[in-house]
Amino acid sequence: MPYIKKVLFLVAAAIVMAAVVACDGGQPLVINTEPVGFHSGDECHVCGMLIAEWPGPKGESINTRNGSTHKFCSTADMFSWLLQPENSKASLKIYVHDMAKAHWRSPEDEYLIDATQAWYVLSSDLAGAMGPALVSYGDQATAQAVAEKFDGQVLRFEDITLETLREISRLEYEQALKRNEDIQQLHHGSR
């Protein structure tokens, strides 16, 4: 009797496997992990802003297991999503614009590069969609030159942490305070 159960189990397993192969046409599932373009109606996965309406480098992630794609209006938003515990362990291909080649106002999709290999410049003088930008570059020399010009610092992908994002928020807050002071002086000076 145990022999018959074993044979029935193997037959059932074979039928299930045949059904799975038949459902996908016998072809293995192929996931496109190449960068995808940004389009005028795309919204940032983190903040919901229309991505194309904002300057500076953008980011995207593609899940290598199921192909789901998330797009971000800024590299800062991309990192805020990536650094969440549930996302940091996912199997992803991540892309950012090489801003040495891309136009600042509207970066072209042809200049998307592997985010894990990019060099990032953090400077309060470089503003993107969400305030101070983490500006991505394909090579260290360009990133270093930009950092020197704009009093910034050069970071690697693995150097960017939640603390880095807190620093960006602090810089953005300081910029907002300065703008408010300027507005107040303008209004008080016109009385």
User: Does residue 110 form part of some domain?
Assistant: yes
Share of the chain above pLDDT 90, in %: 58
7 pLDDT above the threshold of 50: no
User: Does residue 5 form part of some domain?
Assistant: no
The boundaries of the domain holding residue 133 are 29-186
Band (pLDDT 50/70/90 cuts) for residue 158 is very high
Residue-wise pLDDT for 50-93, tens only, equals 999 999 999 999 999 999 999 999 999 999 999 999 998 889 99
User: Does residue 97 form part of some domain?
Assistant: yes
User: Does residue 24 form part of some domain?
Assistant: no
| Structural domains of the chain, count | 1
16 pLDDT above the threshold of 50: no
Distance, CA of 53 to CA of 129 (rounded, Å)? 8
User: Does residue 96 form part of some domain?
Assistant: yes
User: Does residue 4 form part of some domain?
Assistant: no
User: Does residue 64 form part of some domain?
Assistant: yes
pTM, two decimals, is 0.76
Question: Packing angle between helix 75-82 and helix 162-189, nearest 10 degrees?
Answer: 140
* 94 within 8 A of 183, measured Cβ to Cβ: no
User: Does residue 135 form part of some domain?
Assistant: yes
Residue-wise pLDDT for 124-142, tens only, equals 777 777 677 899 999 999 9
